[in-house]
Amino acid sequence: MSMIEITADIEAIIKQAILSFVATVNEDGTPNLSPKASLTVRSGVLYFADIASPRTILNLKRNPAVEINAVDIFQRRGYRFKGRALILPPDDAEFLMIADWVRATNGPEYPVDHVVKIETTSITPLLSPAHVFADPPRSQDEIRSTYYQKYGVKPIGA
């Protein structure tokens, strides 16, 4: 399988989004959507930690199909990742790398029950209509400024 490149922009969006959403398939075929603040990129590979997501893990053990959306709410853009999930064993070096990062970021009390590595099969951009239909077209700065106002927030240092 050829590797699909995770660019610097994709990595930046994941960091800025903070919260991403992982879709899996329930046993009855219905979707399961789970928020993840642990989605991260290491050496061009996507991972997330199971901190409190037993349903996601059960679903992935039965069916490794996964889709992940990461969207920066202020830029109104992001990415959709499709692929296969691999649940790493707890003694695996990649598991330990992600678990250590989660605990360093959130605190040692955070449980990391599983680490999931994604074999990405496709990455597609997600763009808000603000990017697509605005006439005249709006710059990324204009869009960001509009959504800071809509959410009632200011960038740090502003």
How confident is the model over 122-131, as pLDDT tens digits? 999 999 898 8
| Six token digits for residue 100 | 């250590």
pTM for the full predicted model:
0.91
Task: Identify whether the C-beta of residue 116 lies closer than 8 Å to the C-beta of residue 123.
Answer: no
Span 22-38, mean pLDDT?
A: 97
Asked whether residue 1 carries a pLDDT value surpassing 60, the answer given is: no
Percentage above 70 pLDDT, the chain: 97
E strand spans, 3-149: 20-25, 31-36, 40-42, 45-50, 65-72, 77-88, 114-127
Cis ω for the linkage preceding 136 (within 30 of 0): yes
| Six token digits for residue 109 | 């009390």
Category of 132 on φ-ψ map: left (φ > 0), alpha (ψ -120 to 50) or beta: alpha
